[in-house]
Amino acid sequence: HSTDSVLSLPLAIAHRGLSAYAPENTLAAIQAAHEAGFQWVELDVQLLGDGTPVIWHDAGVNRCSDGRGKLKNLDWDSVQTFDVGSWFNACFAGERMASLKQALELIARLDMRLNLELKLSPGHDAQALVDAAIPMASAHLPASHLIISSFDPQALRLTRQRDPQVHIGLLYDDIPDDWQSLADELNASSVHADWRALTRAAASAITSRGHKLLCYTPNDAAAFAPRWAWGVDAVISDDPAIFSEEDREPTL
């Protein structure tokens, strides 16, 4: 209802790429999702100190690379010296941090779809991230293959200002009472909720207003299962293969 393009979601989206089987937020994780048969991936984007948009979750590189430091203090040439695969498994040695552009080119080439999360680490500028990421994402993917989400309402407002057509997803830990006014203001297509914090009442309010409801990041299909009956459209999981369409069917 928010844009001209129709959003068609699968049962399960690969979180940070297929992050149970490949180093998160890398080209290898996108490729792994594709090879496992998943069309949709969720990836995090933020800016390096030199303004390059890169696919990365944390504010710093320490956890997921052999480098040290914060993104805001690093430039593209310096991050390209880091190995971002070996921390996960030796068979991914030599993997390099991906730029948003590299990720979008791969996703477009593989005819995949993307939930791009605008990640605002402390001290990062929402305007600069939106200006770098949104036109680039929209240039590579059709509107029906792209959802922009963020925990940061200002980043989503700036996204809507830059692009009247792009699908926007509101991302929440706990869903606040005023989610509907933000959804209306932004013409949001979807709400992305922490599966553990979601209540049946909130799920019902979201779906009855015509929004898609996505849940992150269940990695236990049995524990998650009762929520399908609440109208959840899709899960965003590290291991999306554990979910099956049968779980969605009402038990007879």
Residues binding ligand G3P (CB under 6 A)? 15, 42, 44, 57, 117, 149, 171, 192, 216-217, 236
- What residue 149 binds from ligand G3P, Mg ion, none (CB within 5 to 8 A, per partner kind)? ligand G3P
Q: Show the site string, 151-190: x = touches Mg ion by CB under 5 A, - = not.
A: ----------------------------------------
- What residue 216 binds from ligand G3P, Mg ion, none (CB within 5 to 8 A, per partner kind)? ligand G3P
Nearest to 213 by CA among 224, 228, 226: 228
- Tell me which amino acid residue 193 is: A
Helix H, strand E, coil C: the string for the chain is CCCCCCCCCCCEEEECCCCCCCCCCCHHHHHHHHHCCCCEEEEEEEECCCCCEEECCCCECCCCCCCCCEHHHCCHHHHCCCCCCCCCCHHHCCCCCCEHHHHHHHHHHCCCEEEEEECCCCCCCHHHHHHHHHHHHHHHCCHHHEEEEECCHHHHHHHHHHCCCCEEEEEECCCCCCHHHHHHHHCCCEEEEECCCCCHHHHHHHHHCCCEEEEECCCCHHHHHHHHHHCCCEEEECCHHHCCHHHHCCCC
Size of the site for Mg ion (CB under 5 A): 2
CA distance 191 to 69: 33
CA distance 157 to 161: 6
The nearest distance, CB 217 to ligand G3P, in angstroms, is 6
Instruction: For ligand G3P, give the closer residue by CB, 126 or 236.
Output: 236
- What residue 238 binds from ligand G3P, Mg ion, none (CB within 5 to 8 A, per partner kind)? none
The nearest distance, CB 251 to Mg ion, in angstroms, is 32
Instruction: For ligand G3P, give the closer residue by CB, 118 or 132.
Output: 118
- What residue 82 binds from ligand G3P, Mg ion, none (CB within 5 to 8 A, per partner kind)? none
Q: Show the site string, 96-135: x = touches Mg ion by CB under 5 A, - = not.
A: ---------------------x------------------
Among 24, 44, 95, 152, binds Mg ion (CB under 5 A): 44
Residue nearest to Mg ion (CB): 117
CA distance 248 to 235: 12
The nearest distance, CB 242 to ligand G3P, in angstroms, is 17
The nearest distance, CB 52 to ligand G3P, in angstroms, is 19
The nearest distance, CB 216 to ligand G3P, in angstroms, is 4
CA distance 169 to 186: 9
Instruction: For ligand G3P, give the closer residue by CB, 85 or 169.
Output: 169
Instruction: For ligand G3P, give the closer residue by CB, 99 or 149.
Output: 149
* Residues of this chain that bind Mg ion (CB under 5 A): 44, 117
